[in-house]
Amino acid sequence: MPKRKLPWADSERELAKIRARISRIEAEVARATQAAARREQRSVEKPAAPRPGLSRSGGARPATSAPSPVAKATAPAPQETWPAGTDLNEPKSFGQRPPVGDLEQGNLSVEDQRRRLTQHLAFTTRVLHTSGVVAIVWREWRAFERSLEEALRKLNAAPPAV
């Protein structure tokens, strides 16, 4: 009698293939997880002194308060330094501070103040759109740009002098 093909036979083979793929993927994930754990373990500083809770002879003793590994990881960030250059063509060394004192009108007329703020806004835009400007300098100029825009809004909202 000839062997008859059962309708579920193909689906059983497909299911076996899928299970094999799943087990290969699980094995790869396990290997990657173990490798990441080993890398992290190697990156942690080796303590210079013996660990609290263990004696040099290898015997255990009651553990005292051990330093938290989180405390080690949260080291203070280095201070950002302000560059000394004034040439925007060299953005890495550009450190000119924004003229915050010019935001106040002083003895200038409204039109003169508006013209001065507009000029400052144009240069501020150049600074902000120049790639390579140091982050601390960029943030200061961005804050100055916001102040400029606010001052210009106030000047434009004021009724014209007659």
> pTM for this structure?
0.50
Phi-psi region of 53 (alpha: psi -120 to 50; beta: other; left: phi over 0): left
Phi-psi region of 147 (alpha: psi -120 to 50; beta: other; left: phi over 0): alpha
Rounded distance, CA 89 to CA 91, Å? 6
DSSP H stretches of helix in the chain: 9-43, 69-73, 110-128, 135-157
User: What are the tens digits of pLDDT across the range 54-85?
Assistant: 555 555 555 555 555 555 555 555 667 878 88
Report the Cα–Cα distance between both ends of the chain, in Å, rounded: 112
Rounded distance, CA 54 to CA 47, Å? 13
Neighbours of 98 (CB within 10 A): 20
Of the listed ranges 7-16, 70-79, 93-102, 130-139, the one predicted with least confidence: 70-79
Rounded distance, CA 83 to CA 134, Å? 8
Neighbours of 52 (CB within 10 A): 13
Q: Residue 123: which pLDDT band, with cuts at 50, 70 and 90?
A: very high
Q: Among 143, 135, 144, 127, which residue's Cα sits nearest to residue 78?
A: 135
User: What are the tens digits of pLDDT across the range 8-60?
Assistant: 556 777 778 888 888 888 888 888 888 888 877 776 655 555 555 555 555 55
Neighbours of 140 (CB within 10 A): 18
**DSSP code for 90:** S
Contact 133, 94 (CB under 8 A): yes
* pLDDT reported for residue 122: 95
Rounded distance, CA 64 to CA 67, Å? 9
